[in-house]
Amino acid sequence: DVCARIFRVGRYLRTPSTKKVAGDEFPSDDLRLYAPLLKSWENFYTRRLYHRIQDCFNRPISSRPGAVIDVLERVSEDGNKTMSVLGRPDCEERRAEYSSGRHYVTAADEGPEGRVARRCLNLGSYNYLGFADDWDETCREGVLGSLTNLPVSSSSSRLEFGTTALHDKVERLVAEFVGKESAVVLNMGFNTNATVIPALSTKGDLLVSDELNHTSIVNGARASGASIRTFRHNDAAHLEEILRTAIVMGRPRTRRPWNRILVVVEGVYSMEGEYCDLPSIVRVCKRYGAYVYLDEAHSIGAMGPTGRGCCEYTGVDPADVDILMGTFTKSFGGMGGYVAGNREVVDYLRGRCAGSSYHNSLSPVVCQQIISSFEVIMGRDGTATGARKLASLRDNSNYFRMRLTDMGLHVLGNYDSPIMPVMLYNPTKIAAFSRECLKRGLAVVVVGFPAVPVLMSRARFCISAGHDRQELDRALSEIEEIADLLKLRYARSTFG
């Protein structure tokens, strides 16, 4: 900022034309009148790191998020502070320059004169069971058929006129699939946690959360008004210590007993690729009379022999988990989320949860997509496609993880998990890794602050049943080359 003021050039330099009052002062500089938008560290990170590597995030696409994906090219005229889609090249010379590229394509359905895109192998989308790849064969007929009698949107909440026959069918299927009495579906996965948790707990309750739980759980816990404690990741012994202390000491100041204690965990942790130690967690909670809330956003449809999630995979009876939550955005190719439990709890949530009683209901078209996906996974379509998808996802995930580990990369998580975080550590390697992958036709997700600590940056690979072995081998070959270039073999050496 000092150099920018001296040379009058800089991406954050406020020029006289932007001033609102005479003199050198800006109204927002007076902290007696205006609160700062960002804390000092957040301001520093946004200016010095995020905006410089913004091209690695929020990349727009122009195709289905299948095993292969078309990524629109973007340009920036202000050093990545703002990005804009390149669009159609304005002259033949520029078009020829782009079209000579190895991965050049035009945006789908726009013909040879369409916007510039890059065809990449998709290693970042939550297309776990590959419904984006074979949608025409597995789901198209049912989904398009639902538009014959029902609209795209019900234009109402569930408590008014937002419930259709398809909503009822989805809820019955979910309850049957996960082994619960009843279920309710909501129109957004993030909001499922953010609105259900405040409906289940309030002042006088205690929420005990795994320290690596998703931000939707964190937001829901903070909005609930309940007291919050965190336990070390997947550490049942530490959870037991917290529960014992909470029961003995009671509430702060009054020492009255807690109304209820709710323990919140995830089936698969999205930034670690690790499974929950559910048997130990459930055993501790039953010993101390605490309720269990399990978030299966990444595990339902992807874990277990028949895709029924963490309970099936770990051998835990679903009856021992009080609340089962999940989303339809990963394995089912849809959107929204669900909560399953006993009928009394679910009926209570229908009226008290803001995501159900106030938000617009889930689109009937999406409901049909979820129904079609369930029928494939459960084998009710009369084929073995669902079983094949589950086996392919497991085989592809384990093969990819094994090869990454053999390269000497520091890979987090467990085998059978479709999520493979590879540690980059150094924040400067976020952009380098992402750009090198894109250059080689690989679409990957890189993760930095605030999703993870600043020095725990990582790349996160999500494998799909839609990938074939040849595609995975090509990706692994390119990643190995990048690992040498950027010194990423941290499992073998501290210096990569």
What is the mean predicted confidence (pLDDT) over 329-349?
A: 95
How high does pLDDT run on average in the chain? 91
72-121: pLDDT as tens digits: 999 888 778 888 888 777 777 777 777 777 888 888 777 777 788 999 99
What is the mean predicted confidence (pLDDT) over 199-215?
A: 96
**pLDDT (0 to 100) of residue 16:** 57
Cα distance between residue 478 and residue 437, in whole Å: 8
Nearest to 203 by CA among 183, 221, 190: 221
**pLDDT (0 to 100) of residue 8:** 74
Cα distance between residue 236 and residue 298, in whole Å: 21
The pLDDT > 70 percentage for the chain reads: 96
Cα distance between residue 65 and residue 133, in whole Å: 8
**pLDDT (0 to 100) of residue 17:** 52
391-417: pLDDT as tens digits: 999 999 999 999 999 999 999 999 999
**pLDDT (0 to 100) of residue 214:** 95
**pLDDT (0 to 100) of residue 25:** 63
pLDDT grade for 10, boundaries at 50, 70 and 90: confident
Beta bridge partners of 69: 120
Of 65-79, 242-256, 262-276, 420-434, the poorest mean pLDDT is in: 65-79
pTM for this structure?
0.90
Contacts of 77 (CB under 8 A, 6+ apart): 84
pLDDT grade for 483, boundaries at 50, 70 and 90: very high
- Comparison of pLDDT for 338 and 105, the residue scoring more: 338
Cα distance between residue 130 and residue 465, in whole Å: 5
